Amino acid sequence: MLLRHTTAKEVDRKALTVNPAKTCQPVGAMYAALGLHGCLPHSHGSQGCCAYHRSALTRHFKEPVVASTSSFSEGSSVFGGSANLLTAIETIFTVYEPDVIAVHTTCLSETIGDDLNQIVSKAKEDGKIPDGKRVIYCNTPSYVGSHITGYSNQVAAFIKFFSTATPKKRNVINLIAGWMEPSDMRELKRIAKVMETRTILFPDMSGVMDSPLTGKYDIYPKGGTTVDEMIATGDSKFSIGMGMYCTQDACIKLENKCKVKFEVMEIPIGLKATDQFIMSLSRHGNVPVPDSITDERGRLLDLIADNSKYFYDKRVALFGDPDTLIPLVEFLLTLDMKPVYIVTGTPGKHFDEAMTEMLKDRVPEAKFRSGEGADLFRLHQWIKQEGVDLLIGNSYGKYIARDENVPFVRFGFPVVDRPGSNSFPHVGYVGAINWVTKLLDVILDHQDRTCAEEKVELVM
Partner 1 sequence: MSEYLQDREKQIVTKGKDAHDVEGGKPSLSGSVSQRACVFCGSRVVLYPIADAVHLVHGPIGCASYTWDIRGALSSGPELHRSSFSTDLREKHVVFGGETQLYQSLVELIDKYQPKAAFVYSTCIVGVIGDDVQSVCKRVAEEKSIPVIPVMSEGFQGSKKDGYKIACDALAALIGTDESLDVSSMSINILGDFNLAGELWILEEYYKKMDIQILAPITGDGRVKNIQNAHRAALNVVQCSGSMMHLAKYMKETYGIPFIKVSYFGIEDMSDALYEVAKFFKNEVVMDKARELVKDQLKNLLPALEPYKTALTGKKAAIYVGGAFKAISLVKALRLIGVKPVIVGTQTGNTDDYRLLKTICDDGCILVDDSNPIELSEFVKQTGADLFIGGVKERPIAYKLGIGFCDHNHERKMALAGYEGMLNFAKEVYETVSSPVWQFVHRTSSEKN
Is 14 among the residues that bind partner 1 (CB under 8 A)? yes
Q: Which is nearer to partner 1, 42 or 314 (CB)?
A: 42
Is 8 among the residues that bind partner 1 (CB under 8 A)? no
Determine the interface stretch with partner 1 among 7-15, 154-162, 314-322, 332-340 (rule: CB under 8 A): 7-15
Among 31, 102, 106, 314, binds partner 1 (CB under 8 A): 106
Instruction: In angstroms, give the least distance from the CB of 190 to partner 1.
Output: 25
Is 152 among the residues that bind partner 1 (CB under 8 A)? no
Strand partners, 44: 105
Is 418 among the residues that bind partner 1 (CB under 8 A)? no
Contacts of residues 330-334 at CB distance under 8 Å and 24 or more positions apart, as own/partner, are 330/266, 330/270, 330/272, 330/273, 330/358, 331/269, 331/270, 331/271, 331/272, 331/273, 331/432, 331/435, 332/270, 333/358, 333/362, 333/363, 334/270, 334/271, 334/272, 334/304
Determine the interface stretch with partner 1 among 30-38, 94-102, 313-321, 335-343 (rule: CB under 8 A): 94-102
Is 63 among the residues that bind partner 1 (CB under 8 A)? yes
Q: Which is nearer to partner 1, 107 or 379 (CB)?
A: 107
Among 33, 104, 123, 141, binds partner 1 (CB under 8 A): 141
Is 65 among the residues that bind partner 1 (CB under 8 A)? yes
Among 19, 139, 163, 434, binds partner 1 (CB under 8 A): 19
C-alpha torsion 333→242→142→79, nearest 10: 180
Among 46, 149, 199, 422, binds partner 1 (CB under 8 A): 46
Instruction: In angstroms, give the least distance from the CB of 23 to partner 1.
Output: 4
Sign (positive/negative) of CA torsion 180, 183, 187, 188?
A: positive
Is 149 among the residues that bind partner 1 (CB under 8 A)? no
424 vs 442: CA distance, rounded Å: 17
Burial class (CB in 10 A: 0-12, 13-18, 19+), 140: buried
Is 118 among the residues that bind partner 1 (CB under 8 A)? no
Instruction: In angstroms, give the least distance from the CB of 107 to partner 1.
Output: 5
Among 33, 37, 54, 327, binds partner 1 (CB under 8 A): 54
Is 214 among the residues that bind partner 1 (CB under 8 A)? yes
Side-chain half-sphere CA neighbours of 119 within 13 A: 25
DSSP assignment, residue 221?
Answer: -
Q: Which is nearer to partner 1, 48 or 387 (CB)?
A: 48
Contacts of residues 333-337 at CB distance under 8 Å and 24 or more positions apart, as own/partner, are 333/358, 333/362, 333/363, 334/270, 334/271, 334/272, 334/304, 335/304, 335/308, 335/311, 335/436, 335/439, 336/308, 336/311, 336/312, 337/311, 337/312, 337/313, 337/390
Q: What is the largest CA-CA distance in the chain?
A: 79
Is 137 among the residues that bind partner 1 (CB under 8 A)? no
Is 92 among the residues that bind partner 1 (CB under 8 A)? yes
Instruction: In angstroms, give the least distance from the CB of 425 to partner 1.
Output: 22
Q: Which is nearer to partner 1, 11 or 459 (CB)?
A: 11
Is 96 among the residues that bind partner 1 (CB under 8 A)? yes
Among 8, 10, 73, 460, binds partner 1 (CB under 8 A): 73
Is 129 among the residues that bind partner 1 (CB under 8 A)? no
Q: Which is nearer to partner 1, 112 or 165 (CB)?
A: 112
Sign (positive/negative) of CA torsion 245, 251, 256, 262?
A: negative
Spatial neighbors of 460 by CB under 8 A, at least 6 apart, are 310, 444
Q: Are 203 and 241 in contact (CB under 8 A)?
A: no
Is 213 among the residues that bind partner 1 (CB under 8 A)? yes
Burial class (CB in 10 A: 0-12, 13-18, 19+), 259: exposed
Instruction: In angstroms, give the least distance from the CB of 442 to partner 1.
Output: 22
Is 171 among the residues that bind partner 1 (CB under 8 A)? no
Is 127 among the residues that bind partner 1 (CB under 8 A)? no
Q: Which is nearer to partner 1, 138 or 363 (CB)?
A: 138
Where is 111: in which H helix or E strand?
A: helix 107-111
Is 99 among the residues that bind partner 1 (CB under 8 A)? no
Is 18 among the residues that bind partner 1 (CB under 8 A)? yes
CA–CA distance from 434 to each of 299, 355, 424, 441 (Å)? 12, 24, 7, 10
For partner 1, the binding residues in 283-302 under the rule CB under 8 A are none
